[in-house]
Structure 1
Amino acid sequence: MLNLHLPRAVGALLNRLTGQDGAPLPVDASDTVMRWPPTPARVLASGERHAHKCIARALALEHPKGFLLAQVPLHKLVRVPKQNSYREWLSRTGLLTVDFALCDEHGVVRAIVLMPLPDDQLRPRRKRERLLRVLEATGLPVASWDREWQAEHDAQRLRGTLFPRLAGSGQYSDTPHAH
């Protein structure tokens, strides 16, 4: 007489297929998540965290409901005319990022803060020059992070640097633009 233990055989097969029997599952060579398991990273270094705190205080004085974004890609901050190829523009500037973008409560960028770069590397310096050319064309206030802005009382000075008041005869540079 044939004695089959079907429930036990099915259970063993399911355990083997789901990897619960202790045997490792075969790893697909193209699955990057399994081959290189991701782990959380520190987004801001110590100096950048300190800058973020100081800049957030200055932003709160100017735009209390505004927000501060860190390491933002340039293509998220500016618009280009639609008659030109956006793909071409993105291929030239797509990898450029700003260190901090200060936005008002409506999500409109009001100012940019850049952290200083080491002077000994040519490629990052060229990328920074290209970034500065684009930002200059936008008319946004761009400030370089000054290591002297360490104290609490410098928030007013930083506010004046980031949000210059008069742009012309009686117009303020931080008024919303109609798009």
Structure 2
Amino acid sequence: MLNLHLPRAVGAWLNSLTGPRPARRTDAADTVMHWPPTAARVLVSAERHAYKALSLALAHEHPKGFLLAHVPLHKLVKVPKQYSYREWLSRTGLLTADFALCDEHGFVRAVVLMPVAEDNARHARKRERLLRVLEATEMPVTVWVRDWQNETGERLRQLVFPKVRAQGYYADTPHTPNTPH
């Protein structure tokens, strides 16, 4: 014979509907409680100096451009859709460029990387993967030199945007390849 405790089950159900609500239990894995967040410094001292200098170089090349810091690689490049984007992202998702210099239309025109400490092999391997992908885009990639923080904006423009410009060139006009200007 089936031993159902129907009156007890119905009573518990009715009690849960009409009874007092139990106090909210603090979850053992509550992220905010266990790791209280505080605001962090986004740019360290060397990065702040580089940012100020690079903004001058960008103003000379693309006056209405944007300077972005700590940009994920997947925001800088596009890859063909014929393969799994998810797989590509799993291989490169944690790679970031230190600075991306963009024109007024949001296209990346140059990338600047801060130097990596020679004693950190893991960072060196990540940097190599990042460089392989960025170099395949034919985008100018420059490694920041600390002495550049004292350079003029025009000199920095030449270092970061190494392409030869024709007379009368204006950087912020959108150009399409093989179109007369």
TM-score by length of 1: 0.77
1:95 and 2:105 are equivalent in the alignment: no
Q: Which residue of 2 aligns with 1:148?
A: 147
Per-residue CA deviations over 1:45-75 (Å, capped at 9, x if unaligned) read: 0110000000001101111111100001000
Letter in 1 for 2:75: K
Partner residue of 1:157 out of 150, 155, 158: 155
Aligned counterparts of 2:71 and 2:163: Cα–Cα separation in 1:
25
* Bigger relative contact order (CA 8 A; separation at least 6): 2
RMSD: 2.7
**Are residues 46 and 144 of structure 1, via their aligned partners in 2, closer, same or farther at CA, if it must alter by over 3 Å?**
same
Q: Which residue of 2 aligns with 1:7?
A: none
Q: Indicate if the aligned counterparts of 2:62 and 2:171 stay in contact, CA closer than 8 A.
A: no
Q: Which residue of 2 aligns with 1:8?
A: none
Q: Which residue of 2 aligns with 1:86?
A: 85
Aligned counterparts of 2:175 and 2:96: Cα–Cα separation in 1:
23
Q: Which residue of 2 aligns with 1:115?
A: 114
Aligned-pair CA distance for 1:172:
10
SS of 2:100's equivalent in the other structure is strand
Q: Indicate if the aligned counterparts of 1:113 and 1:143 stay in contact, CA closer than 8 A.
A: yes
Q: Which residue of 2 aligns with 1:35?
A: 34
Aligned counterparts of 1:136 and 1:104: Cα–Cα separation in 2:
19
Aligned counterparts of 1:84 and 1:32: Cα–Cα separation in 2:
36
Q: Unaligned regions of 5+ residues in structure 1, if any?
A: 1-12, 18-24
Aligned counterparts of 1:173 and 1:72: Cα–Cα separation in 2:
22
Aligned-pair CA distance for 1:35:
2.1
TM-score by length of 2: 0.77
SS of 2:142's equivalent in the other structure is strand
Kindly report structure 1 stretches of 4+ aligned residues shifted beyond 3 Å: 171-178
Q: Which residue of 2 aligns with 1:135?
A: 134
Per-residue CA deviations over 1:107-145 (Å, capped at 9, x if unaligned) read: 110100000000011111011011000000001001110
Aligned-pair CA distance for 1:34:
2.2
